[in-house]
Structure 1
Amino acid sequence: MKIHLTSVFVDDQAKALRFYTEVLGFVKKHDVPVGETDRWLTVVSPEEPGGTELLLEPTGHPAAKAYRDALVQDGIPLAQFAVEDVRAEYERLSGLGVRFTQEPLDMGPVATAVFDDTCGNLIQIATQPR
Structure 2
Amino acid sequence: MTLQHFTLIFLGGGLGSVARYLLGVALPACIFPLGTWLANLIGCLLIGYLAQTFARDNAALRALCITGFCGGFTTFSTFSLDIVQRWQDGHYLIPTLYLILSLAGGIVAVLGGMVLAR
Assess same fold via TM > 0.5. no
Q: Which has the larger radius of gyration?
A: 2
TM-score normalised by length of structure 2: 0.25
Higher relative contact order (CA 8 A, sep 6+): 2
More strand by share: 1
More helix by share: 2
TM-score normalised by length of structure 1: 0.24
